[in-house]
Amino acid sequence: MIEVEKKFRPSPDELARLLTGAELISRKENNDVFFDTLDFQLSKKWSWLRDRNGSMELKVAVHMPQDGALCQSFTEYEDDALIRAQIGLPASDVPLRNQLIAAGYQPFAELHTERTQYRDGIFHIDVDHTTAHNFVYDVVEIEIMVDENGDIHAAERDIMAFAESRGLKTGHVNGKVLEYIEQKNPAQFQVLVETGYQPES
């Protein structure tokens, strides 16, 4: 499955309007540790590798922003063997996190997120409050899941139309990881800018 998503930072009134009629699905807390190499090999490929609550996950971008996409799209891997294959590590009985450290991967962010999830028809809405050392960030994500042969561009249009119908501003908004990198690690952020992740501000 491919996750098509768009980030927003609504005002309290805009958030209330967005959630009117939406169904509350869950409340959870996520503890994420993000990994990359010292020369940011994953960041250059728009891939986010994280340990979420003790389980490894990898999100790989389907396309780049300069492709004219309205939203971001990711394929997500949660199986250790598939993650190894995606990032070029050999099969191993060693725990994946240990193997990553041995291969030169290092943590670059540790984020704690309080997430409230809603559903409104085909749309999933995540309301996140994220904290780390000297870092606080609130962001809302609207997403649609499509299969690998699905119409990503149609999903993007649906998300944008839904957001606009709720009066949300549809300009660029950093996700929590990108915001953390921009604030805390200028060298890594510059790598993302150079690969088209976000125009320089």
**Burial (CB count within 10 angstroms: exposed 0-12, middle 13-18, buried 19+), residue 106:** exposed
Q: Which two tokens stand for residue 153?
A: 């561009």
Query: Tell me, what amino acid is at 34?
Result: F
pLDDT tens for 159-200 read 999 999 999 999 889 999 999 999 999 999 999 988 877 554
Beta bridge partners of 135: 132
Average pLDDT over residues 83-107: 97
Cβ-based neighbour number of residue 46 at 10 Å: 19
More confident residue, 66 or 85: 85
Burial of 187 (C-beta count, 10 Å sphere; 0-12/13-18/19+): exposed
Q: What is the pLDDT of residue 172?
A: 87
Residue 67: pLDDT above 70?
no
Nearest to 196 by CA among 5, 45, 3: 45
122-150 mean pLDDT: 95
pLDDT grade for 79, boundaries at 50, 70 and 90: very high
pLDDT at site 65: 53
- Confidence band (pLDDT; 50, 70, 90) for 110? very high
Residue 159 pLDDT: 97
For residue 125, the one-letter residue type is: I
Q: What is the CB-side half-sphere exposure of residue 65 using CA atoms within 13 A?
A: 16
Q: Compute the average pLDDT of residues 73-98.
A: 96
Q: Is 173 helix (H, G, I), strand (E, B) or coil?
A: coil
Mark 152-162 as b/e (b = at least 16 C-beta within 10 Å).
Answer: beebbebbbeb
Span 52-57, average pLDDT: 98
Answer yes or no: is pLDDT of 201 > 50. Answer: no
Question: How far is it, in rounded angstroms, from Cα 116 to Cα 124?
Answer: 11
Show the domains of the chain with their CATH numbers: 2-194 (2.40.320.10)
Instruction: Label residue 68 by pLDDT band (50, 70, 90).
Output: low
Does position 113 have pLDDT exceeding 60, yes or no?
A: yes
Q: Measuring CA to CA, which residue among 125, 106, 105 is closest to residue 116?
A: 125
173 Cβ contact list (under 8 Å, min separation 6): 7, 8, 9, 139
